[in-house]
């Protein structure tokens, strides 16, 4: 297999649909073998088949990352399955929309575990593995434009993603001596996902984006791939906002 990531192996969480699946396929297209993960075993199998269509090896491990023990299991099973792990993409995440004063303890735990704690846990497993094998690996985390500007009724989601950005900087600092880079991609409004049907709110959302369209899955996949390329090893501790200049726009009243 040829490509800039030929011979590398990546774990991409939340890779059974949307941004995660597109990212897994982009990495595979560049020659990386890919471990696919998601909650639904059938969807995992489908994504593995998509990855392998690029001529690389794919593996599938179903896991619910809102559960701490499942995050540890995913890390352990991945490292027991692949020859070595070179790339970790912490893509999985979820949001429960609610007024912050109505958020239950269970809703808090689900979101914080899925969005932040699972990424921390998997990065721990990956870092120990990479350090032990002297792999100059890559860890790419996922934030959101909501870490800089509020989403309506999504305080826990936005706060957990803000923590991801802080975690990225700290991990980059600690892992740089080992040649491991850690970066983060922050998507803007990403309604245009593979297979998505146009929603009523798309025109109004598009009007607030100076670039003139909503984000697409490939916009994010390209940013993730950038952080994984051999040429970008010296870039670390960064969060790249991919939003069509949405965050620069102040609507007129």
| Active site annotation includes 157 | yes
How many degrees, rounded to 5, is the angle at CA 145 between CA 180 and CA 47? 65
Catalytic residue among 157, 173, 178, 249: 157
Three state DSSP letters for the chain: CCCCCCCCEEEECCCCCHHHHHHHHHHHHCCCEEEEEECCHHHHHHHHHHHHCCCCCEEEEECCCCCHHHHHHHHHHHHHHCCCCCEEEECCCCCCCCCHHHCCHHHHHHHHHHHHHHHHHHHHHHHHHHHHHCCCCEEEEECCHHHCCCCCCCHHHHHHHHHHHHHHHHHHHHHHHHCCEEEEEEECCCCECCCCCCCCCHHHHHHCCCCCCCCEHHHHHHHHHHHHCHHHCCCCCCEEEECCCHHHCCCCC
Residues taking part in catalysis: 157
């Amino acid at each position: 297999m040829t490509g800039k990531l030929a011979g590398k192996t990546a774990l991409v969480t939340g890779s059974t649909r949307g941004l995660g699946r597109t990212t897994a396929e982009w990495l595979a297209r560049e020659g990386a073998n890919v471990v696919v993960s998601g909650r639904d075993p059938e969807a995992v199998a489908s994504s593995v088949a998509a990855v392998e269509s690029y001529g690389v090896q794919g593996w599938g491990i179903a896991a619910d990352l809102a559960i701490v023990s499942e995050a540890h299991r995913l890390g352990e099973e991945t490292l027991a399955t692949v020859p070595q792990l070179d790339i970790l993409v912490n893509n999985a995440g979820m949001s429960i929309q609610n007024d912050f004063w109505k958020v239950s303890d269970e809703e808090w735990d689900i979101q914080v575990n899925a969005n932040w704690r699972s990424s921390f846990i998997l990065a721990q497993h990956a870092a120990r593995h990479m350090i032990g094998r002297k792999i100059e690996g890559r860890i790419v985390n996922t934030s959101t434009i909501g870490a800089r500007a509020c989403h309506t009724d999504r305080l826990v989601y936005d706060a957990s993603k803000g923590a991801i950005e802080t975690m990225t900087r700290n991990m980059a600092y600690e892992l740089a001596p080992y040649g491991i880079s850690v970066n983060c991609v922050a998507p803007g409004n990403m309604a245009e996902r593979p297979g998505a049907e146009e929603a009523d709110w798309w025109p109004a959302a598009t009007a607030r984006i100076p670039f003139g369209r909503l984000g697409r899955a490939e916009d994010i996949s390209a940013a993730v791939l950038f952080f994984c390329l051999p040429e970008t090893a010296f870039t670390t501790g960064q969060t790249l906002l991919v939003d069509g200049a949405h965050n620069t726009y102040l609507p007129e009243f």
